[in-house]
Amino acid sequence: MTELTSRKVPFVERLEDLANREDRGALAALRRGLGQPAGTVSAMYPWVVPWLPENCPPWTEATYYTVASLFALHPSSGRDANLGVSLRRAGGSDSSAGGDAGEGSGGAMASVERRLVALLAANSEDLPGLLRQAISLLRSKEIPVNWHQLFLDLQQWGAPSRRVQRTWAAGFWGRSAEQDPASEDSAVDQNDSSSENTEGEA
């Protein structure tokens, strides 16, 4: 459920171009949308309106404005499979969030976990504010965001299947795909070693 998407979003590519060109004026205009209802900040129009699909529904339009303002807050693009994976990294560990929250990086992970739980339960009205908190956290940790995937995920946020929410949950609480193969190899090596020792004793 956490596999990396290879799909690129032209609008996000445009935002990345603004960042690459260090267009501070455009990014400043887009940041004005933070904390404001989508589509109510006229300074954003030149950068967003040309990309809106014809007759797009309100939620789709809101996604464009939300992602644009959040990107301007943290214009750093990465390749994490989804926001759940990025927040998992922000917790200071790439392992499961379970365990004693009072030890080591567990306290930080527990704090991030609470943020994610609130985020996954958010409705369309609360989502932008909670996303701003999450992106601000990632910015403070210098963790980039897969803005292409975030854009695609937000368009499906209200789906009855809650596929996006479940995918983010898997990215945060699920087993690490990067660690599992090594762990399994280690287990095989240990088993082989045990077998050799047993045979040697026999």
Q: 10-26: per-residue pLDDT in tens?
A: 999 999 999 999 999 99
Three-state SS annotation for 138-188: HHHCCCCECHHHHHHHHHCCCCCCCHHHHHHHHHHHCCCCCCHHHHHHHHH
Whole-number pLDDT of residue 156: 95
Residue 123: predicted pLDDT: 94
Task: Report the pLDDT value the prediction gives residue 92, as an integer from 0 to 100.
Answer: 78
Give pLDDT, residue 199. 44
What integer is the mean pLDDT of 92-111? 57
Segment 155-198, tens digit of pLDDT: 999 999 999 999 999 999 997 644 433 333 333 344 444 444 44
CA pair distance 152, 141, nearest whole angstrom: 24
Distance CA 129, CA 126 (A): 6
SS (H, E, C) 20-71: HCCCHHHHHHHHCCCCCCCCCCHHHHHHHHHHCCCCCCHHHHHHHHHHHHHH
pTM of the model: 0.80
pLDDT value at residue 196 = 43
Q: Which two tokens stand for residue 117?
A: 């739980």
Contact 30, 41 (CB under 8 A): no
Indicate the domain borders of the chain.
Answer: 10-175
Whole-number pLDDT of residue 176:
62
**pLDDT attached to residue 100:** 40
Average pLDDT over residues 74-82: 96
* Domain 10-175 = CATH 1.10.520.40: yes
Q: Is the pLDDT of residue 93 over 70?
A: no
